[in-house]
Amino acid sequence: MGDDHRMTRRSVLGALGVLGASAATGALAVPDRATAQALGAQETVDAGLKRVFGGRPIKDGGGLIKLDIPLIAENGAVVPVSVEVNSPMTPANYVKHIYIVADKNRIPIVTRVALAPEAGQAYVGANIRLGETTDVRAIVEQSDGTLLQAKREVKVTVGGCGG
């Protein structure tokens, strides 16, 4: 019964997704709703990276990627992250996607941001949920397909006085 319920909702949303895709034209091709639904899945981080990137090599991007995240998160509910990539953002050479991944989360893929050169700067920020102390990664996909990564451990202070 639960699964049927979800199927019905999915088909309704599917119609909405199609409308959405045709409404937004231009700089970015809006991915279809099925891709968006599949982005977040309950899996290990290794399975998630395999699913999203195939076996493509992910190189260390420490020099180009500035991953700004607190070393200690006061609580896991709201952890501010920002990612800035040194990139000219020209049509010939720009950052196509920035992924934020939290290794130990139930759903490790947190978000994927698609950028057009018109963004002018490869910069994104978001408040994310962390279930526990974990490595957080920024994975960057360049327009030529190169994958780069920077990561940091974030210690989460779980709970507090008062239960």
The residue among 28 and 47 lying less far from other proteins, judged by its C-beta, is 28
Give the one residue of 49, 65, 67, 112 binding other proteins; rule: CB under 8 A: 112
Tell me: does residue 31 bind other proteins (CB under 8 A). Answer: yes
The encoded tokens of residue 114 equal 């698609």
Using CB under 8 A, which of 62, 80, 88, 91 touches other proteins?
80
Closest CA to 118 of 86, 96, 89, 83: 89
Distance CA(45)–CA(106), nearest Å, equals 9
Burial zone of 160 (CB within 10 Å; 0-12 exposed, 13-18 middle, 19+ buried): exposed
Q: Tell me the window of 53-61, 114-122, 141-149 that interacts with other proteins (CB under 8 A).
A: 114-122
Of the candidates 64, 74, 76, 141, the one whose C-alpha atom is nearest the C-alpha of residue 102 is 76
Among positions 134-163, residues that touch other proteins (CB under 8 A) are 155, 157-163
Residue 48: Cβ within 10 Å count: 21
* Interface positions with other proteins (CB under 8 A): 1-3, 5-6, 9, 12-13, 16, 20, 24-28, 30-31, 33, 35-37, 39-40, 42, 70-72, 74-75, 77-80, 82, 89, 102, 105-116, 118-129, 133, 155, 157-163
